[in-house]
Amino acid sequence: MLAFIGGTGLTRMDNLRIVATHPLDTRFGKPSAPVVEGELHGRRVLFLARHGDPHVLLPHQVNYRANLAALKEAGASAIVAVNAVGGITPDAPTGALVLPDQMIDYTWGRDSTFFDSPDEPLVHVDFSWPFDGALRTALKNQLATSELAWNDGGCYGATQGPRLETAAEIARLERDGCDIVGMTGMPEAVLARELALPYAMLSLVVNPAAGKSTHEITMAEIEAVIHSGMAGVCTLLADFARDYG
């Protein structure tokens, strides 16, 4: 089944007709929330709220291993992860969706592999291209039929949080080649790769990153973009579930 991971602003999918709830407990602990099974346009999908339902977990507090293990156990065959990000370059304006094709990891101290026990085999996954090509192409084709503002490609910079970045840090990320910045892309993406689950990311730009605006960004402005933007994301994901595969 196709699975969606919802980030900030997407704790629930209002257009999802819920048919089952799976309160799973993995060997890595409990996921952020129960895995919800439902229907979109008659197609069965899974949904997991990354930060819990209600939103209570900060990015560094998310049990990413439990989340991915629970989705795998519930029958996920591919994952589309949604997140709210800051825009760094002109290719990532506020309100637009970005379909990134690369990633740089600036996080630290997070459990980033399933294979860190002496009882586990030594595994080094190829992570040259963090996002599944076929899944990205399918999302790109779906975006092309929508009326949403979006950009194909870009580099996601994953920072530790929970604080926002300084202007100097954003300048460094831009020099490194990052187009957007968020706090949840890693280790989520690499854990999906370890489980051989195709994974792609859909990022909603909710504000200019630090130093990229002429005025102070308020939470009210960010919340307004999230509210309007995630409504479009929900419609897009429903159409994607109908057409995917």
Residues in binding site for phosphate: 8, 50-51, 184
Distances (CA, A) of 118 to 24, 70, 122, 184: 25, 22, 9, 27
Which residues are part of a known binding site? Answer: 8, 50-51, 183-184, 207-209
What do you get for the CA distance between the two ends of the chain, in Å?
10
Which residues are part of a known binding site for substrate? Answer: 183, 207-209
